[in-house]
Amino acid sequence: MESLLARLPSRSRIAVIRLRSMGDCVLTTPALALLKAYRSDLQVRIVVEPRFAGIFEDNPDVDEISPRVGGHVDLVLNLHGGTRSMWMTLNSGARFGVGFGHHRFSGIYSQRIPRAQEILGEERPVHTAEHLAAAMFWLGVPRAEIPRARLIASRRPDYSPYVVLHPFAATAEKTWPRERFLAAADQMQAAGLQPMIVAGPADDTAPFSKFQVLRNPTLGALKSLMSGAALFIGNDSGPAHVAAAFGIPVVVLFGPSDPVTWAPWRTESRVLTSHGGISQIALGEVMAAAEALRNGEVKNEA
């Protein structure tokens, strides 16, 4: 049977809906790279909330960034699956409305994407990057190795060697104890790496005041910071995926999220977990992981 991509004329317009969040947006870029590598003629519009639009800025695989599907499109690919994205798909007027079959109300789609395991031919847990890339394979992109996420930094910071730490998360069960992050920062500084603390607008950064803190940086500034880092240490969150996209060695501490699904993609990394929860991960484990990465003893785990 002819694939959907084979049925699209040259220079057709595709809208890919990926509204949120930071990590999801980052992990969508390998799928976009596969699509453009196969059909460079397609005009790809990424539909994303303005606060995450910076993830896709200057990406050669994206022709347009917009908060709306808007205008004429030939195919809408809904990678989000929430109520808002469903309405966007339904009201797009596109010839093809495509989304995952497991989405709620997936009956609105003209074509439904099966499970990634079925597409990949492997019955195992899949990473988010594999899940999204599998959609492209189902559309008609030939099977290929799924690349690292692609983010573009406008410049690299002119700092001495530094480590980026992200000691915050959305919930307590995803947050390693603050005093251990402070101890890790102290040890990194003693080892010759300047600690750079990344924080959101509501995060309490007072305990980290002796270090350089970047509060609520723009995505452009965050990408630039990550592009020049020697190492990243942080909770399971969006900044960890930004670091991985630049091939930075990454130490990530996981709470309840599934590391198989959300581990750093295509970079040297150590994922640390504990059956007793994130607070049970010892400082020594984190420092040993960081040292192993700095010495090149850990290979890509994705």
Helix, strand or coil for residue 194?
strand
Helix, strand or coil for residue 267?
coil
For the chain, the structural domain boundaries read: 5-139, 162-294
pLDDT in tens, 32-57: 999 999 999 999 999 999 999 999 99
The single-letter DSSP state of residue 142 is: P
Cα–Cα nearest to 247, from 225, 265, 271, 220: 265
Residue ranges of the chain with per-residue pLDDT less than 70:
298-302
What is the architecture of the domain spanning 5-139?
3-Layer(aba) Sandwich (3.40)
Residue 61 neighbours by CB under 8 Å, 6+ apart: 29, 32, 33, 35, 36, 44, 150
In degrees rounded to 5, what are phi and psi of residue 66?
-150, 150
pLDDT at site 271: 98
Taken in order 66, 71, 77, 83, the sign of the CA dihedral is positive
pLDDT at site 240: 98
* Inter-CA distances, 184 with 107, 193, 204, 229, 285, Å: 50, 11, 18, 16, 11
pLDDT at site 158: 85
pLDDT at site 66: 98
In degrees rounded to 5, what are phi and psi of residue 7?
-90, -5
Contact by Cβ (8 Å): 85, 108? no
pLDDT at site 83: 94
In degrees rounded to 5, what are phi and psi of residue 271?
-105, 125
Asked, colleague to colleague, whether 5-139 and 162-294 share their fold, the answer is yes
Contact by Cβ (8 Å): 267, 150? no
Contact by Cβ (8 Å): 266, 149? yes
In terms of CATH, what superfamily is 162-294?
Answer: Glycogen Phosphorylase B; (3.40.50.2000)
